[in-house]
Amino acid sequence: MEQLKGISIFVETVEAGGFSAAAVRLHLTRSAVGKTIARLEQRLGVRLFNRTTRMQSLTEEGRFFYERCLRAVEEIRLGEAMLESGRHSVRGRLRISMPVLFGRLCIAPILENLLDEHPELELDLSFNDRIVDLLEDGFDLAIRNGQLKDHPDLMARAVARQRMTVCASPAYLERHGVPQTIADIPQHQGIVYRRGDYERSWIFPAPDDPWRQILPRSRLRLDDLAAISDAALAGRGLAWLPCWLVRENVAAARLVQVLKHEEANIFDAHAIWLRSPVMVPKVRLAIDTLAARLPAMMG
């Protein structure tokens, strides 16, 4: 049980953004949090955090361990939520807005299973890439990707982390060679996401800058991620896509991930709901279910 306590404090420390903030959340001293993390590092034989006088950041081993610990913690939270929902029946209509492709491939399959477990629950799932107004549009919940702006009337919880990857077909790489570094990308044809006048740059973390943004040369620009994946399969060039979208084609060797030694851009998927003193059981159940199940689908 002491090991589970250490893991829960580790997860809380990552989510809070540091030892001091975690101590406030957990009603512990900063020293107690630090000692718990140190004991966990000693037991595992790895360093989980890089520490400076002002901040802590996850090491690569720490990030790997966190992603797996989070699944276990979310399963416990989901169990608690399901016990709670047993006391407060989950019933009625639950309206959820989500991005089209991410929603169809990742979110909907998880949520639809709730219908088997809760016969009085109804789901209305809306697939739309626009940002909805939960109050005006009548949604109980929305799923949004990427960084969020603070809003006094909304609550948010990260339910999964998405990793981007650069990939191409074996035929394309055989013809044009395999890029070895990010600096090689401009020498290749890229398949670029474009909507209206906006072309999305490919983003990579950098040690001395927040981001490196690269817009590869391209003769093919599309406004649909699935179409970009199809074009990559057809050998049209390099593509920058979320791992969950390409994982089956990568596993089948129809696509090859390149630049795997480069740090990938990672962003969160959030569940958003209207601020309220008490969360409706059906909303809580949906959020806890996504947080427990969705990370395993992220590739």
Q: Which domains does the chain have, with CATH numbers?
A: 2-73 (1.10.10.10), 88-156+268-297 (3.40.190.10), 163-266 (3.40.190.10)
Residue 95 has pLDDT above 60, yes or no: yes
Question: What is the pLDDT averaged over residues 265-284?
Answer: 87
Taking the C-alpha atoms of residue 168 and residue 172, their distance in angstroms, rounded to an integer, is 7
> How many Å apart are CA 134 and CA 153, to the nearest integer?
10
Q: Given this model, what pLDDT does residue 291 score?
A: 93
Question: 66, exposed or middle or buried, with CB in 10 Å at 0-12, 13-18, 19+?
Answer: buried
pTM of the predicted model as reported, rounded to 2 decimal places: 0.69
- State the average pLDDT over residues 48-57: 79
Contact 228, 222 (CB under 8 A): yes
Q: What is the pLDDT of residue 212?
A: 85
**How many whole angstroms separate alpha carbon 70 and alpha carbon 209?**
28
Q: State CA 32 to chain mean position distance.
A: 30
Say what the pLDDT of residue 280 is. 85
Q: Are 122 and 260 in contact (CB under 8 A)?
A: no
pLDDT digits (tens, 9 = 90+) for 4-15: 668 888 888 888
Q: Which residue type does 117 have?
A: E
Tokens of 298: 């992220």
Q: Sorting pLDDT into bands at 50, 70 and 90, what band is 50?
A: confident
Residue 168 has pLDDT above 80, yes or no: yes
Q: What is the pLDDT of residue 111?
A: 96
Give the pairing of strands 190-195 and 220-222: parallel
Residue 81 has pLDDT above 70, yes or no: no
Q: What is the DSSP letter of 120?
A: T
Q: What is the rounded CA–CA span in Å between residue 294 and residue 180? A: 32
Q: How confident is the model at residue 53 (pLDDT cuts 50, 70, 90)?
A: low
Helix (H/G/I), strand (E/B), else coil: 201:
coil
Instruction: Kindly state the average pLDDT of the residues 112-135.
Output: 92
